[in-house]
Amino acid sequence: MDRTVRVLGVPMDLGADRRGVDMGPSAIRYGGLAEQLDGLGVDCTDGGDLAVPRPEARDPDADQPRGGRAKFRRETREVCEDVRTAVSGTIDDGEFPLVLGGDHSIAIGTVAGAAEPDESLGVVWFDAHGDFNTPQTTPSGNIHGMSLAAILGKGSFADESWAHTPAVSEENVVLVGLRNLDEGERRLVRESDVTAYSMSDVDARSVPEVVEEALGIAADGTDAIHVSLDMDWLDPTEAPGVGTPVRGGVSYREAHVAMEYVAERHDKLRTMELVEVNPILDDHNQTAELACELAASAFGKRIL
């Protein structure tokens, strides 16, 4: 990494049901993120945390899309617009934005900020879930399960400029490690032009092969890549501190290998986020510390 990394915390939990993920940025910092990057010789600054309203003070159903449900939609829009501004400003300053969540709804803002005018952006989404629901298909109304659909302008998000990022084409979006999809989003994924690798695909082909191919698809014809790493991508035995754990995820070493492949694309890597760390559910900050280690691998740490 030849750019200064600017850490941006987004203590967001409006997009999920389980409280605690708002403490994720602090847990990751406490887990040694700055020390990990410093050990690599990567210059790192901390931009602090963005302001996020408390859910207790807001009505989750005050601003609803027609024919669907998206809880805390107004507040999520406001936060994501602030994330977009912070990420875009970081890039304009010649630095690399490393965004810490917080729930996965913040990706809407990160991707919007990463998308430069008149450029195209590829996305690699490491996650147990598709995050491909719309307000019309969601069984829960939680926006962290709609974030990728929002970025791609699916359903009622098509007309919402704060959510839809036209610079991202479905053909350059790759989901890696899927193992839990709602029925409605399963249909949307199948009907779309995104590339989706389930854990069955990963098991059959290996992490290195799938991740290398995924990065190639995201980079094909695009100007830059965004990498979104949801910690529930890993198996809960490795990362217990997440709000929506799903058994059968990647192992500790497989996750590091994946991030080592990400590091090889540093010339195209524009932004990265680490999301869904929930310290309340964690075991001695294990998940947050692992997030720090994986960030180090993504920025070039190697065994030899």
- Annotated catalytic residues are 104, 127, 129, 131, 144, 230, 232, 276
CB atoms within 10 A of CB 43: 15
Alpha-carbon distance of 151 to 112, in angstroms, equals 8
Rg of the chain, C-alpha, whole Å = 17
Q: Cis omega before residue 102 (within 30°)?
A: yes
Q: Residues forming the annotated binding site for Mn(2+)?
A: 104, 127, 129, 131, 230, 232
Q: DSSP string of the chain?
A: --S-EEEEEE---TTSSSTTGGGHHHHHHHTTHHHHHHHTT--EEEEEE-----GGGS-TTSS--TTS--TTHHHHHHHHHHHHHHHHHHHHTT-EEEEEESSGGGHHHHHHHH--TT--EEEEEE-SB-----TTT-SS--GGGTHHHHHTT-GGGGG-TTT--TTS-GGGEEEEEE-B--HHHHHHHHHSS-EEEEHHHHHHH-HHHHHHHHHHHHHTT-SEEEEEEEGGGB-TTT---BSS--SS-B-HHHHHHHHHHHHTTTTTEEEEEEE-B-GGG-STTHHHHHHHHHHHHHTT----
Residue positions in the annotated binding site? 104, 127, 129, 131, 230, 232
Are residues 29 and 289 in contact, defined by beta-carbon separation less than 8 angstroms? no
